[in-house]
Amino acid sequence: MSETRVFLLPDLGEGLTEAELVSWHVAVGDTISVDQPIAEVETAKSTVEVPSPYAGIVAELHGQPGETLDVGKPLISVTPVSVGGPAADAAAPAPAEPETEPAETELGDALDEPAGPPAQAEAEAYREEEKAGSGNVLIGYGTPGGHGVARRTRARKASAASGSVSTLPLEDGAADGGPAEGADVDLSLLRTRVPGRLGAVISPLVRRMAREHGVDLGGIPGSGDGGLIMRRDVEAAISTPAVEERAVAAPRPAEPAPVSVPAEPGQSEAQGVDARTGLPISARTPVKGVRKVVATNMARSRSEIPEATVWVDVDATGLMELREGLKSGSDQVPGLLAFIARFVTAGLKEYPELNTRIETAEDGSQEIVSFDGVNLGIAAQTDRGLVVPSVRAAEKLTARGLDAEIRRLTDVARQGKATPTELGSGTFTLNNYGVFGVDGSAAIINHPEVAILGVGRIIDKPWVVNGELAVRKVTELTLTFDHRVCDGGTAAGFLRFVADAIENPTALLADL
């Protein structure tokens, strides 16, 4: 009888450690295939669908919608369909006959076994997808290609009674040893990965060395590419006494998700009344997801960055008239934010100090890191909270190109489908809070960036033009910057550059 396979919640990108289970796409008893979406989860950055690395029948769902699950904990258990069953061809990635221990070469390579006819075509197709990066992984994420060869590991038939549960790695191989099918698997060695993505896997030679010397590979940081555990890492661990044995804990029973519970009259003072104000507590809402990330990032920004703010009122009448003139000759005219974004990228070329990052070394020394290019972050308010997707290489785009990309990023961000790369790669942020009907804001810098430019609402105001009072379209620009990377003169120069471009756009457009 086939062993039940447990799929652990994978690292969904950017080193996130937890995700909230939004909904299940499958139920216990359903027959599923490889790469079929099984659940929708919400991380601190986006909402993604998780595909199954296994085919078979769903045996158990480890969690309820609304629960927060830790990365590396069980997500779903799948029982492969027995050979000869109705879905055997789709579910059986290996031949039914007993498998033998793969022979190891001097480099730790495992010799491939020929696959049986029923599964050979599917297995080879799956391996080819993994080599090239199939794209059939987490929706909204990509698969790297050309970084090595990944192979799916087949389950070794257990000698004990059938029906046991085993947790299998999705990929197996190493830089110092080739892929190993049927190699010994220990729960402490697992690094759960999405199908098609290379992980910190270990060669059979390294595993055997660790096993013979009692080294816990789960606690060793790999020195190879992508955290790969190399032979030298195990040798170093052998010479260093282990401080503590890491215990492999069994999956904990699912705990109910925290909910906001209204306080009822008659509750005890300790539960329902705030000791400081004397008022009844109406609800307690956990800080999690996007709100948790925003809170952490903003607090870090305010505690680490010595920020300063400069602002200026700007006559935007010239830009408004330019855009109206373009409408008469074309139906697709960039929005005002796209024009301002183009002025910002031009300004950052003149004042590159504001397109940098501060890096602090372990010894406390600091460096200012400059970039050859601009990834322009666009602050977007969504139902999930404030997110900042970035237009990569924004300095290379025209106003039309920026307009299209800003609209696309804003749309995917509001759907919760923006990728970690889109949400975490900015070098400078543009914040259009004028859409909320406010004039200005002392914005908090999006750490680890060093500056953020805010644009207020555009309204009619009295303005002196050529010595006479006139009604003009006026907005306010506010720049908050990190005083460690530049002084006020640089910040004021950049702000004035963007303001002048808005007031006299035709003069700047001639140079773009």
Torsion of CA 46, 52, 58, 64, to 10 degrees: -10
Chain-centroid distance of CA 441 in Å reads 28
| 213 tagged catalytic | no
Buried b (16+ CB within 10 A) or exposed e, 388-415: bbbbbebbebebeebbbbbeebbebbbe
Q: Which DSSP string do the residues of 15-64 spell out, in sequence order?
A: T--EEEEEEES--TT-EE-TT-EEEEEE-SS-EEEEEPS--EEEEEE---
Q: Where are the alpha helices (DSSP H) in 240-366?
A: 269-272, 289-304, 317-327, 336-350
Q: What angle do CA 190, 191, 196 make, to 5 degrees?
A: 120
What Rg value do the Cα atoms of the chain yield, rounded? 28
Q: Which residues are 23's β-sheet partners?
A: 40
User: Could you tell me the two tokens for 124?
Assistant: 């080879």
Catalytic choice (25, 62, 213, 483): 483
∠379-384-390 over CA atoms, to 5°?
A: 30
- Look up residue 21 and give its two tokens: 């289970």
* Whole-number Å distance between alpha carbons of 300 and 398: 34
- Residue 315 pairs in a beta bridge with 474
Instruction: Tell me if 418 sits within 8 A of 389, measured CB to CB.
Output: yes
Check: CB of residue 242 under 8 Å from CB of residue 192: no
Helix (H) or strand (E) run with residue 312 in it: strand 307-315
Q: In whole angstroms, what is the distance from residue 459 CA to residue 299 CA? A: 33
By the 10 Å C-beta count (0-12 exposed, 13-18 middle, 19+ buried), 152 is classed as buried
Non-local (6+) Cβ contacts of 1 within 8 A are 82, 162, 163
The sign of the dihedral angle between the CA atoms of 464, 469, 472, 475 is positive
Dihedral sign, Cα of residue 168, residue 169, residue 174, residue 178: positive
Instruction: For the beta carbon of residue 498, count every other beta carbon within 10 angstroms.
Output: 24
CA atoms of 269 and 274, how far apart (whole Å) = 8
Peptide bond into 448 cis (omega under 30): yes
Q: Which residues face 386 on adjacent strands?
A: 381
Residues serving a catalytic function are 483
